[in-house]
Amino acid sequence: MVTGIILINTERSKTNDVAKALIDTNGITEVFSVGGRFDLVALCRVNTNDQLADLVNVAMANNPNIVKTETLIAFQAFSKHDLEAMFSIGN
């Protein structure tokens, strides 16, 4: 599984609209409204790097209210929760 952390800048006053659209996007599991240089942080979990690339370069690029993104790829996950088991239910 590939985990991406996507930092997002939105058009002014469109942050909530972007967040609502993103949470309905396949592969995005969580969206956070944050303070600082970015407006939103989206966590995505997909099977391949190609799926992550499509998510950022197609799905997000087609949203006119997204001004800029910066994508981080997680090498390892350190968590109190077993995320892999949680997301594999029913697979």
d(CA 91, CA 83): 14
Q: Go through the domains of the chain in sequence order and give each one's CATH number.
A: 2-87 (3.30.70.920)
pTM reported for the whole predicted model: 0.84
Q: Which residues contact 87 (CB under 8 A, 6 or more apart)?
A: 1, 29, 45
Alpha helices, DSSP H, located in 30-79: 49-54
Let me know: does 54 contact 32? Beta carbons within 8 Å.
Answer: no
One pLDDT digit (tens) per residue for the chain, 91 residues:
999 999 999 999 999 999 999 999 999 999 999 999 999 999 999 999 999 999 999 999 999 999 999 999 999 888 776 656 666 655 5
